[in-house]
Structure 1
Amino acid sequence: MKTTIPIKRKYGFTLVELLVAVSVMAIIAMLGWRGLDVIIRARNSLTGELEKAHGVQLAFAQMESDCEHLISYSTLPNRAPLVVAQNRLVLVRNVFADNQPSRVQVVAYHLRDGVLSRRESAATRDLATLDALWQAEAADVANSRDVVLQTGVAGMGVRVWLSDGTGWRQPGIDVAPSGGATPTGLEVLLQVQGAARGMTKVFLLGAQ
């Protein structure tokens, strides 16, 4: 009598099942890569915006220091110590140093080709020298003394607040009005490229 030995079947994945599994894994990997790519792009965009905002805040801090030390209008009877124009701000400020007498210097902010820069003249106590420095600054020519404060700036708006009740005044000419009122506040708007809204800061002029 013959004895029949049962044959053990080997179970495994068929070729079709392997192809389906590989296809599913590929789809999951593609979806995961797209999600990761979106996260990385959003992070890079946010990092760039934060860096620009930080640069603008540093520029505002420098402007605040300059405005705080603006000389009084009585110091320069024939010239206003503050001139505002489109994409440009020029002022005369006091300079204080340890063990030295107070001096003055001309400071200018310029916006050219999306670059906001600041430059300052040498400090002096001589009004004739100061007038020459002012005239040189009036030429509005870029030079090696320019210090870049922020790049990627689309526009710069400047206004002043007059104490005679006329309120904010648009730039374009010397700020000192004929009626004798002097500006007490300065508003600066910086529009960063790609930003939906500009960043605005208001400064007090001189020691208020």
Structure 2
Amino acid sequence: MKTTARSERRRFGARGFTLIELLVAIAILAVIAVLSWRGLDQIIRGRTTITNAMEDERVFAQLFDQMRIDARQAASDDEAGGEAAISVSGNTLQIVRHMVLPGTAPRLQVVRYQISNGRVVRYASPPLGNVGELQRALRGSVEGWSAVPLMSGVGAISARMYVPKLGWTTQMNDVQTAIMEAINNLKVPQLGNAPMPRSVTGLEVSVGATSLARPIKRVFLVGE
């Protein structure tokens, strides 16, 4: 009988969780779940931010690297027929550059960086074989030119030119004045055999994008 009574007490004493204990456990699990979700959400957001930043950096590097190449291979004003090899007008940057194709003589090419529907597009003319073709390319449209989209989300693109003896300027009149001075110097007997100097030796490009708090600037040497 004693054994039976002890077994009965043990059986009735082995009870389950109460409702309050279950509610406390659920509340703790809910708090842990919320904290885990917030931490996971921050990790995902951080990874997205880093991915977007790396993509923006890659796009900017591609854009500025192409500009650097074009500026480095820029022709002289003399080779451009007395025209400015580097010119800026509004949101358009134009460069007359050398173009070397395998098995052919070096030719000139006109490239333009323009904004089209919020995207920077590099337009490149076909190889130019004479001064007449060059003049038409400088003053004509980009119809028939190759077009390569380089960067989207761009609000504005601007440039400054470095003119020796003057400094940085955004005015093409300053460039034209430097070209005319160089041409006049060639008429002086003592300077007639000297090569015509470049009117623009440096180029500063500023690109403003919707994803940027402020525009990004880069400086390039011209013809170096």
**TM-score class normalised by the smaller sequence:** 0.7 to 0.9
Match of 1:118 among 94, 112, 122: 122
**Residue type of the alignment partner of 1:160:** M
TM-score, with structure 2 as normaliser: 0.82
Quick one: structure 1 residues 18 and 142, their matched pair in 2 at CA, closer, same or farther if it must change by over 3 Å? farther
**Residue type of the alignment partner of 1:204:** L
Quick one: structure 1 residues 143 and 66, their matched pair in 2 at CA, closer, same or farther if it must change by over 3 Å? same
Aligned to 2:34: 30
Aligned to 1:167: 167
**Post-superposition shift, 1:136?**
1.4
**Post-superposition shift, 1:45?**
2.0
Higher helix fraction (1 or 2): 2
**Residue type of the alignment partner of 1:167:** G
**Post-superposition shift, 1:159?**
0.3
Aligned to 1:106: 110
**Post-superposition shift, 1:58?**
0.6
Q: Is the 8 A contact 1:160 1:183 kept in 2?
A: yes
1:190 maps to 2:207: yes
Compare CA radii of gyration and give the structure with the larger one: 2
- SS in structure 2 opposite 1:176? helix
Aligned to 1:148: 149
For 1:32 and 1:157, the matched residues in 2 are separated by 47
Q: Which runs of 5+ in 2 are unaligned?
A: 183-197
Quick one: structure 1 residues 81 and 48, their matched pair in 2 at CA, closer, same or farther if it must change by over 3 Å? same
Greater alpha carbon shift after TM alignment, 40-49 vs 116-125 = 40-49
Q: Is the 8 A contact 1:84 1:174 kept in 2?
A: no
Q: Which runs of 5+ in 1 are unaligned?
A: none
**Residue type of the alignment partner of 2:68:** E
1:203 maps to 2:220: yes
Give CA deviations for 1:149-194 in whole Å, capped at 9, x if unaligned: 0111222120011111x21101566833244471100000112212
**Residue type of the alignment partner of 1:150:** M
For these two proteins, the number of residue pairs brought into alignment is: 202
For 2:144 and 2:37, the matched residues in 1 are separated by 48
1:29-108 to structure 2, matched below 5 A, reads: 29-108=33-112
- Over the matched positions of the two proteins, sequence identity in percent amounts to 33
For 1:35 and 1:173, the matched residues in 2 are separated by 58
Quick one: structure 1 residues 200 and 61, their matched pair in 2 at CA, closer, same or farther if it must change by over 3 Å? same
**Residue type of the alignment partner of 1:168:** W
